[in-house]
Copies of this chain bind each other. A is one copy, B any other.
Amino acid sequence: MKSSDPRAYLERQREAIDQYLLQLLEPGEEPTLLREAMRYSVTAGGKRLRPLLTIAAAETFGLSGQRVLPVACALELIHTYSLIHDDLPAMDDSALRRGRPTCHRVYGEAAAILAGDALLTLAFELVAGYGLREGCFERALQISLELARASGRRGMVGGQLLDLESEGRMIGLSELERIDSCKTGALLQVAVRCGAIAAGASPAVLKALSGYGSCLGLAFQITDDLLDLEGDAAEMGKEVGADRAREKATFPALLGAEAARKRTEELYHQALVYLNELERPAGLLQELARQLVFRNK
């Protein structure tokens, strides 16, 4: 099933992720405004690339996507929280995200900050609950550790700070790569690793998957920059040309658009080389790499 048609399989998993997230955010004892702010951002129509990477990695090593859904969705919650906080007036001050007003524009800044906090916290609740229910205590702790490292001060949060500090400043290619590898690369990489850890993969496998994830992370960011430069605002659902307006260093700005595009293709092929090291069919991870690099939004 999964190997015969990876695209169809991933599409079904995307729906399963959406459903799981909806269920997670059904009314409970939390304040209504907080729940609505969380729900608004989580259901804003993201591509669910991170949870799909987790599911694809788990499936590749024999664990069903269904079983690993809580871990996969934890990745999406962390991603969503980071978008909410990045969009805040004190940060990127964005008005639009995925074609809709940003969380703080709809629910106010306080609720947006708290919705982000709650989503981050909920991610760790999901992972702990998963481990306790499934009885895979050590693997779940390992996942929790890697998630925290990738999204914290030396990963995503640190990357966002470096990104803010780089605005309006001339930075070189290596600094830009460092920022992006923290800000977006770390979480993409850990999304893949977490699925494989849940499936009990070996350290050698994890190493190859880190290479794959690292290539994807960078390719993803360059594609983002290219789309910001050339993309269609309606298609993108956010303000286009924003990077140039705030004098942000980007790959196309440093390399030129053509060379930047070529770089994404090289990274894509390098990612596939890493998948070859796994010595098993990895159609799902191949397909995700394709979707992630060759996208138009």
Contact = CB atoms under 8 A, between A and B. Distances in A.
Interface in A125-149: 125, 127-129, 131-132, 137-138, 140-142, 144-145, 147-149
Copy total for this chain: 2
Nearest to A145: B128
A63 interface: no
A106 interface: no
B91 A157 contact: no
A77 to B, nearest CB: 11
Contacts of A151: 121
Interface SS majority for chain A: helix
B113 A88 contact: yes
Q: How large is the interface on A (under 10, 10 to 19, 20 to 34, 35 or more residues)?
A: 35 or more
Nearest to A112: B90
Given A138-B132, A145-B128, A33 B110 contact: no
B110 A161 contact: yes
A164 B112 CA distance: 13
B122 A152 contact: yes
Given A30-B154, A137-B138, A137-B141, A110 B90 contact: yes
A265 interface: no
